[in-house]
Amino acid sequence: MELVCPAGSLPALKAAVDNGADAVYIGFKDDTNARHFSGLNFNDRKAQKALDYARDRGAKIFVAINTYAQPKGWARWQRAVDLAAELSVDAVIIADLGLLNYAAQRYPQLPLHLSVQGSCTSAEGLKFYHSELGIRRAVLPRVLSLDQVKMVAEQSPVDLEVFGFGSLCIMAEGRCHLSSYVTDQSPNNSGVCSPAKDVRWTQTEEHLESRLNNVVIDRYQAEETAGYPTLCKGRFAVEETIFHALEEPVSLNTLDLIPDLYAAGIKAIKLEGRQRSPAYVAQVVSVWRSALDSFANNPEKFSSKAEWMQRLAKVSEGSQTTLGAYHRPWQ
Amino acid sequence: MIKLNPCQHILLPTVKGLAKSCPFPLQKKIAMLFLVPVFEEARLDGDLDFLRDRRIGLAISDIDYQATLRLENGHLALAKSTASEAPTDAIIRGNLSAFIQLANRSEDPDSLFFQRRLCIEGDTDLALEVKNLIDAVDLDELPKWLKQTLSLTQLVDKQFA
Ligand code: SF4
C-alpha cells in the first residue's frame, strides 16, 4: 500500500520524503485547498523545489485543490489546476465537480483523485466519477466502517485511498455545517473549520478557555490536555450535564487495521496534517513506514508495536487515538 | 510539572541571569545575528509581510523573559518589551525547554500545545502565522555556523528529555 503523507511547508515535505513517504500531498498558497492557513503551503517556486526534492528521491507529489470553487474566484481554481499541470505533478486531488470537469477536459493526461471532501461513499458514486470524469483514485471519507469499506472496495472501478492517521473528523466530509453555523466559514468553501481569526484562548485562574467567534468551545482544567477549537470537539451542556456532546479531542489511528485494509484491496493510506509541523510529519511518517514495512515483510505475524502507538499518541489531539468509524459493528 | 534535573538547576538560573543582565541593545544585536539569516528566504518570498505594524511576544516563563519581535526595515528584529512600548498583538508562552524543542524541531508545536506546554494569548491568527513561518524555515539553506549552533541546542534539549 502506498503511504501518502501531508506537507504544509518545504521542511515538512523533506521530513515526509526522508522518513519514507511514497507520495506527498501539498496545497498552493490560497483558498483552493482545504488547509488554507496563514503562512502555510507552497508558492510556485516552493512547489517546484518540492517537486525536485521528491522526484530526486523517487517520491510522488499530489496537489490538493479540494475546496469548492466559488463563482467569484473561479479563475483562481482554474489557475491552480493549470499550475499543477504545468509542474506535471503526479496527481491532483479535487472535490468540486466543475473543477474535475475542467481538469479532465483541459488536461486529459493529468491523473485525477477524488478528494475526501467529495464525500463519495458508494461504488455507484465512484462509477459515475470514473466513467464521466476519468478519476483514477478516490479518498474514502472517515465515516465508513471497515465492513462498508470492504463493500465499496469490492465494486470500485478505481483505486481507493483511506485515512490512516490524523485528527478525527466525524462528519461525512464535505457535508459538515458545524463551522458555518458558528463562523460562517466551512472547510469546503474556505478551507478551514476553526478559522484562526475567530479563535481566542484565555487563561484564567481556574481554566484555559477556547472560544470560536465568541462561542465557548471548551474549558480545560490545569492538568487536562487541550484540543483544536472545533465545534465538533467542544464540551457543551446537554440537559445540565457538560460533556463532549459530539466527539472528544482525539486522533484517528488505524495502524491495527493494516492487514484488513490490505485484504480489502485498499491501495493507499493517507496521513492527515498539512497544518502540522515538520516534527509531526517526521514522527508520524516514520512510524507508518516501519509498520507498513513490517507488514510487507511478514504479513501473517503483523501486530502493531506498543512503541509505535505511544509515538503516535504523543502527537495526537487529546493525546489519545481511536479506530473511529472503522470499528462500528452496527454500521 | 516537569522535574528539573541537575543540569537544568544550573542552566535555568544561568540563562535567566544572562538574559536579565544583558542590556537591550546587545540583546538586539545578538538576536539580529540569528534572525536575519534564518528568515531571509521568508523575507524574500514576502512571507514576513503579515508582521507589518504587528508585535509578537515570545514569553519564556521559567526564566521570566519576554522577547518582542516586530519588523524593522523589512527584517524581523527584537523590540523593547517594556510597559511604555506598544502592547503585543499576540504572545506565545512556554518554558525554555518547549522553546528549545521548537527551535531544533524535536517537538511538534501543536503537540506541545495539546500537552499545555505552550499557549497562545491574543490574536490566534497572528500566532499561527508565526508558528507556520518558523515551521517553513528550511534548515538546509542556513549558513553552516547557524546549523552548527542549532545542533548544539540538540545537546541542551537532551537535558530536558
Ligand atoms: S467541524 Fe469537526 S466534523 Fe466538521 S469538518 Fe471540522 S473536524 Fe470535521
pLDDT digits (tens, 9 = 90+) for A119-132: 999 999 999 999 99
| Residue B21: Cβ within 10 Å count | 8
Report d(CA A131, CA A137) in Å as an integer: 12
CB atoms within 10 A of CB A101: 13
Which of the four pLDDT bands, split at 50, 70 and 90, describes residue A210?
very high
Chain A residue nearest residue B127, CA to CA: A196
Q: What is the pLDDT of residues A315-329, one digit of tens each?
A: 888 777 888 887 776
| Grid cell 452496527 in the structure block, residue | A330
Is 60 exceeded by the pLDDT of residue B2?
A: no
Q: Determine contact, residues A308/A45, Cβ cutoff 8 Å.
A: no
Is the pLDDT score of B50 beyond 70?
A: yes
- For residues A143 and A170, the answer to whether their CB atoms sit within 8 Å is yes
Q: What is the pLDDT of residues A50-98, one digit of tens each?
A: 999 999 999 999 999 999 998 889 999 999 999 999 999 999 999 999 9
Q: What is the mean pLDDT of chain A?
A: 92
The CA R_g of chain B, rounded to the nearest whole Å, is: 15
What does the angle CA A225 – CA A230 – CA A232 come to, to the nearest 5 degrees? 95
**pLDDT tens digits, residue range A150-171?**
999 999 999 999 999 998 887 7
Q: What is the mean pLDDT of residues B63-82?
A: 91
- Please enumerate in sequence order all residues whose Cβ is within 8 A of that of B85, keeping only pairs 6 or more positions apart, or say none: B68, B79
* 8 Å CB contact between A17 and A54: yes
Task: Determine the distance from the C-alpha atom of residue A147 to the mean position of all C-alpha atoms in its chain, rounded to a whole number.
Answer: 21
Task: Determine contact, residues B133/B48, Cβ cutoff 8 Å.
Answer: yes
Longest Cα–Cα distance in chain A: 60
* Positions of E strands within chain A: 2-6, 23-26, 60-65, 91-94, 112-114, 137-139, 159-167, 199-203, 208-212, 215-220, 236-238, 241-243, 251-253, 268-271, 321-322
Instruction: Work out the mean pLDDT of chain B and round it to a whole number.
Output: 86
Average pLDDT over residues A163-190: 81
**Span B80-106, pLDDT tens digits:** 887 777 889 999 999 999 998 888 888
pLDDT of B1 reads 46
CATH 3.20.20.70 residue window(s) in chain A: 2-168+251-330
Contacts with A116 (C-beta within 8 Å, 6 or more apart), sequence order: A66, A95, A139, A140, A141, A142, A163, A173, A174, A270
Per-residue confidence at B51, pLDDT binned at 50, 70, 90? very high
Q: What is the pLDDT of residues B142-153, one digit of tens each?
A: 888 888 887 777
Enter the DSSP assignment of B13. Answer: H
Q: pLDDT at residue A4 above 80?
A: yes
Q: What is the pLDDT of residue B5?
A: 66
A193-212: average pLDDT: 90
Most distant pair of Cα atoms in chain B: their distance: 44
d(CA A169, CA B66): 37
Which residues of chain A neighbour B140 with C-beta distances below 8 Å? 14
Closest CA to A323 of A151, A185, A145: A145
Nearest to A37 among B45, B47, B128 (CB): B128
pLDDT in tens, A254-272: 999 999 999 999 999 999 9
Strands A60-65 and A159-167: unpaired
- Is there a contact between B121 and A226 if contact means CB atoms under 8 Å apart? no
Q: Whose CA is nearest to atom 5 of ligand 1?
A: A176
Q: What is the pLDDT of residues A231-252, one digit of tens each?
A: 989 999 999 899 999 888 888 8
> Whole-angstrom Cα distance, residue B73 to residue A50?
30
Over residues B64-80, the mean pLDDT reads: 92
Contacts of A276 in chain B (CB under 8 A): 108, 110
pLDDT value at B21 more than 90: no
pLDDT at position A184 is: 87
Of B124, B125, B138, the CB nearest to A10: B138
Q: Do residues A95 and A118 lie in contact, with contact meaning Cβ atoms separated by under 8 Å? A: yes
- What pLDDT was estimated at residue B6? 63
Residues A304-312, mean pLDDT to the nearest whole number? 93
CATH code for B6-160?
Answer: 3.30.1050.10
pLDDT of residue B157: 67
Tens digit of pLDDT for each residue in B105-153?
888 998 898 889 999 999 999 999 999 999 999 988 888 888 888 777 7
Residues 6+ apart with CB under 8 A from A294: A302
Residue in A closest to B133 by C-alpha: A39
Angle, CA of A303, A307 and A313, to the nearest 5°: 105
Q: Which residues of B83-96 are buried (b: 16+ CB within 10 A; e: fewer)?
A: eeeeebbbbbbbbb
- Specify the CATH number of the domain A2-168+251-330: 3.20.20.70
